[in-house]
Amino acid sequence: MRWSRAWTVAVKDMRETFSTMQLVAPLVVVPIVVVVGYPTVFLLALRLTPGSVEGLQGFLGGFPDSAVPAFALATSAARAAYVAVVYLFAGFFLLVPVMVSTVVAANSFAGEKERRTLEGLLYTPVSDAELVVGKISAAFVPTIVFTWGCFAVYSAIVALLGVPVVGRVFFPTANWWALMLLLVPAVSLLVISIVVLVSAKARGFQEANAIGGSVILPVIGLVAAQASGLMVLSTGLVAGTALVFALADVALLYLIVSVFKRSRIVSFLP
């Protein structure tokens, strides 16, 4: 494995992907709405119209108090802010890497096949493993950078709008560090691996994107479970889930590297 060649493949793919607004615009707009828009509106509402908390009781009331520290139980608004910031919006942060990695990976594999550029790459001295690692990196690196960027922005919003409501600095919490450092990378790799496997047979970007994007369904389920109080994204749960996903990643990556052969890919080319 020559890492420099894998990285060359990755850089080329990233340049291609991020040089078109067609692809970049939805990747930026949706997370901005979810990660910046929703929390901002929610926390501003709690600050400016304290009465709005009552309206949220039906929504957040079922959430177990045991998952909320004592300092955040002082007022209804503090409790609502803490639950939303620490647990409710956490699920949204899984939607971001799922979405970004699906689009970028589908563009990198199926998109290259569709644009009829892949065959030229297969004739170069890049090995099968270098090609796979390069293309996975081309999706993984921007996904992580973008998600962590969103996390930084979210942390700033919480510091500005959430801390005054709760009464003290409370974020990022341990479950969020586990989310960002363990679960987000593990989920991203899982999504990318699935898209890569699908891309080998997909006719083009749209098909790979649609099939790969179906991974988003369990994540939406997770968000819903959070909101209803059925599941609490504790540090242990996040780390445990990340471990399960990481094991799945290892199995899938092993499968991909062992089955990704030039001759197999070429047989799907026109």
Q: Which residues bind other proteins (CB under 8 A)?
A: 2, 4-5, 8-9, 11-12, 15-16, 19-20, 115-127, 262-263, 266-267, 270
Closer to other proteins by Cβ: residue 58 or 125: 125
Q: How far is the CB of 261 from other proteins (least distance, A)?
A: 9
The amino acid at residue 100 is: V
DSSP H helices, the chain, are 3-17, 21-31, 38-48, 52-60, 76-83, 92-106, 112-114, 118-122, 128-157, 163-166, 174-178, 184-199, 205-213, 216-228, 235-259, 262-266
Closer to other proteins by Cβ: residue 119 or 207: 119
Q: How far is the CB of 215 from other proteins (least distance, A)?
A: 27
Closer to other proteins by Cβ: residue 30 or 129: 129
Closer to other proteins by Cβ: residue 168 or 261: 261
Residue-wise DSSP of 248-266: HHHHHHHHHHHH--HHHHH
* Closest to 83 (Cα-Cα) out of 112, 49, 42, 144: 42
Q: How far is the CB of 263 from other proteins (least distance, A)?
A: 5
* Closest to 17 (Cα-Cα) out of 198, 145, 148: 145
Q: 267 exposed, middle or buried (CB, 10 Å; 0-12, 13-18, 19+)?
A: exposed
Q: How far is the CB of 265 from other proteins (least distance, A)?
A: 8
Cβ atoms of 110 and 208 closer than 8 Å: yes
Q: How far is the CB of 97 from other proteins (least distance, A)?
A: 24
Closer to other proteins by Cβ: residue 18 or 38: 18
Closer to other proteins by Cβ: residue 130 or 249: 130
Q: 181 exposed, middle or buried (CB, 10 Å; 0-12, 13-18, 19+)?
A: middle
Q: How far is the CB of 123 from other proteins (least distance, A)?
A: 4
Closer to other proteins by Cβ: residue 66 or 267: 267
Q: How far is the CB of 51 from other proteins (least distance, A)?
A: 52
Give the C-alpha separation, 212 to 231, whole Å.
Answer: 25
